[in-house]
Structure 1
Amino acid sequence: MSELLEIKGLEKSFYMHHFDKTIQGCSDVTFTLDQGEFIGITGKSGAGKSTILRSVYRTYLPTSGQIMYHSDQYGWLDLAGATEREVLSIRRNEIGYVSQFLKVMPRVTAIEVVQKALEEMKYSKEEALEEARQMLSHFHLSEELWDAYPQTFSGGEKLRLNLAQAMVKKPKLLLLDEPTASLDAATKESVKDMIVRLKEAGTSMLGIFHDLEFMESVVDQQYNMKQGMMQEGVQT
């Protein structure tokens, strides 16, 4: 396998101005992710798991270290030092992010959220609409909600929409932040099925989990975070 992502000495700290105090998010994180591989990260709340994902997605700008990513558009690129234009283009075309929290424009319907993700990738309107319908059905989001505004959705419904929005693009790299939180058993199975499909199609994944049983059924390798430091787990 060839490497897709190589993280070297990643560190992220947060300065709290009100308290004149620095909080360590993660420190000296180093690992590689191969093409088509799925790495799962576990750890208690506050251990630094989400900090890693947000640094890769560049929601956070790392304090130090490198995040080397093999982009279809730019070749090897350090995401820690990439320009805003490069980051936005890679997010649009190559890297997907599933969060427990849904952030969408007001007065945009659920099906439009998924459809627009594909239209940004130059899909035709008709093709994007059909793909959106199939993906929302796959994640058991009721058709009654397709033309509704996501701000009114429950936590589980918002997560299903997040999954659909990110996975419909079949990204080169998919980042998953607690992708089964607040989901029922049937929807968890649909998430597992889509993960398998995407892996078979070549998508690489990096995910953080509290649901260890689910994680162990889909990942190739595990790491555990403790106090911002990463410890290697086991091959699965």
Structure 2
Amino acid sequence: MTALIETIALSKTFTLHGRGGLQLPVFSGIDLSVYPGECLALTGHSGSGKSSLLRCLYGNYAPSSGAVRIRHAGDWLNLSDAAPREVVAVRRRTLGYVSQFLRVIPRVSTLDIVADPLRRLGVGVDEARKQAAQWLQRLNLHEHLWHLPPATFSGGEQQRVNIAHGMISAPQVLLLDEPTASLDGDNRQVVVELIQAARAQGSAIVGIFHDDEVRQAVASRCFDVEQYRGFSVGAAA
């Protein structure tokens, strides 16, 4: 079986240019591979680099060294040195990301926000909205909220919009950063079932789950980022 996303000797160090080039190593030498139907849970104490690793996998952070490779359109693409248009194409068709915070265009309705990933894939507006409505129903978001922008929603409501937006297009690779953090017990269980369904459909998932019960319910294995943490701090040469 071929992995869908992998890292090769991946390292990340932040350089604080406003502090005389102070260097803050985050992690070093990470090799991992995630296969279809797997959910890899990133573990480690707060500050160990879990979220930074997830952002490297999504291409938001450039690694200091090493590579992030993803299977896209039947071939390997190195996200670490991909052109911006290639990164956009990967995120549209292959790579999904559910962060802890909902970032959307103001004044766009919740229904259209959730439908947007399908529209970008060429799905017609009516069908995209129909599927978006099904996701919002599944996530127990009241119908009277669908035509409102989510900026004034509660944290839990915004997170459910975020999850629907990130998962509706069934991405081949899915990154999850605390997807259940703001949810009550009932909606947490719904998200667990959605993640399990994505695994069953063959998605490769990498996630951060601080809730032990959620992690045990969805993860096929764990990866301890703490073991790769860098500790030395010094000025850049």
Q: Distance in 1 between matches of 2:24 and 2:227?
A: 11
Alignment of 1:1-236 (within 5 A): 1-20=1-20, 21-72=22-73, 75-226=75-226, 229=229
Q: Distance in 2 between matches of 1:65 and 1:164?
A: 32
TM-score by length of 2: 0.92
Q: Is the 8 A contact 2:26 2:229 kept in 1?
A: no
Deviations 1:193-236 (A, max 9, x none): 11121111111100012112211111111012227539xxxxxx
Deviations 1:4-38 (A, max 9, x none): 12211111111112222111222211111112211
Q: Is the 8 A contact 1:8 1:30 kept in 2?
A: yes
Deviations 1:31-58 (A, max 9, x none): 1111221100112221100111111111
Q: Distance in 2 between matches of 1:161 and 1:227?
A: 34
1:120 partner amino acid: R
The DSSP-based 3-state class of the residue aligned with 2:195 is: helix
Q: Once structures 1 and 2 are overlaid, which stretch shifts more, 205-214 or 172-181?
A: 205-214
The DSSP-based 3-state class of the residue aligned with 1:226 is: helix
Greater helix share, structure number: 2
Q: Is the 8 A contact 2:3 2:35 kept in 1?
A: yes
The DSSP-based 3-state class of the residue aligned with 1:3 is: coil
Identity of aligned residues (%): 39
Q: Distance in 2 between matches of 1:88 and 1:109?
A: 23
Deviation of residue 192 (structure 1)? 1.1
User: Aligned-residue CA RMSD in angstroms?
Assistant: 1.4
Q: Distance in 1 between matches of 2:23 and 2:48?
A: 15
Q: Is the 8 A contact 2:25 2:229 kept in 1?
A: no
The DSSP-based 3-state class of the residue aligned with 1:66 is: strand
Deviation of residue 126 (structure 1)? 1.1
Larger RCO, structure (CA 8 Å, separation 6 or more): 2
2:143 partner amino acid: E
Q: Distance in 1 between matches of 2:14 and 2:32?
A: 22
The DSSP-based 3-state class of the residue aligned with 1:106 is: coil
Q: Distance in 2 between matches of 1:129 and 1:136?
A: 10
2:89 partner amino acid: S
Q: Distance in 2 between matches of 1:24 and 1:223?
A: 19
Q: Which residue of 1 aligns with 2:235?
A: none
The DSSP-based 3-state class of the residue aligned with 1:80 is: helix
Q: Once structures 1 and 2 are overlaid, which stretch shifts more, 220-229 or 58-67?
A: 220-229
Q: Distance in 1 between matches of 2:216 and 2:41?
A: 8
Q: Distance in 1 between matches of 2:228 and 2:139?
A: 33
What number of residue pairs does the alignment pair up? 229
2:4 partner amino acid: L
Q: Distance in 1 between matches of 2:221 and 2:104?
A: 32
Q: Distance in 2 between matches of 1:23 and 1:153?
A: 36
1:44 partner amino acid: H
Unmatched tracts of structure 2, length 5 or more: 231-237
The DSSP-based 3-state class of the residue aligned with 1:140 is: coil
TM-score by length of 1: 0.93
Q: Is the 8 A contact 2:67 2:79 kept in 1?
A: yes
